[in-house]
Amino acid sequence: MEYLLIRSLSVFFQLVNLLLVIRVVLSWARYNPYNKYITLLFNVTEPVLEPFRKLMSRLNVNFEMVDLSPLVAMLCIQYIIQPLTYTLIRLFF
């Protein structure tokens, strides 16, 4: 049970990171904002990125043309949220 839960969360976090990378790459290219897949991508990743944008604006870490919130979100997921989740699973299961 513990292994299955940890493995499924690992796949989930990897998927979120992959979606964030795809969104960053799309920001460098010209895309159709009315495409249903791009709309889905933005609807899925925006709730992840919005808290980091607010945090960066409160800390006055704003750059003019570069949005660093995807990078901060990926690093936070990789080094804070994911290990914390695994630790909590091991404690309770």
In this predicted structure, what is the pLDDT of residue 32? 94
Distance of CA 81 to the CA centre of its chain: 11
State the CB neighbour count (10 A cutoff) for residue 23: 19
Total domain count for the chain? 1
Confidence class for position 93, pLDDT limits 50, 70, 90: confident
The predicted model scores a pTM of: 0.88
Q: pLDDT tens across 26-81, in order?
A: 999 999 999 999 999 999 999 999 999 999 999 988 787 888 999 999 999 999 99
Give the three-state DSSP class for 65.
Answer: coil
3 vs 17: CA distance, rounded Å: 21
Range(s) of the domain holding residue 6: 2-92
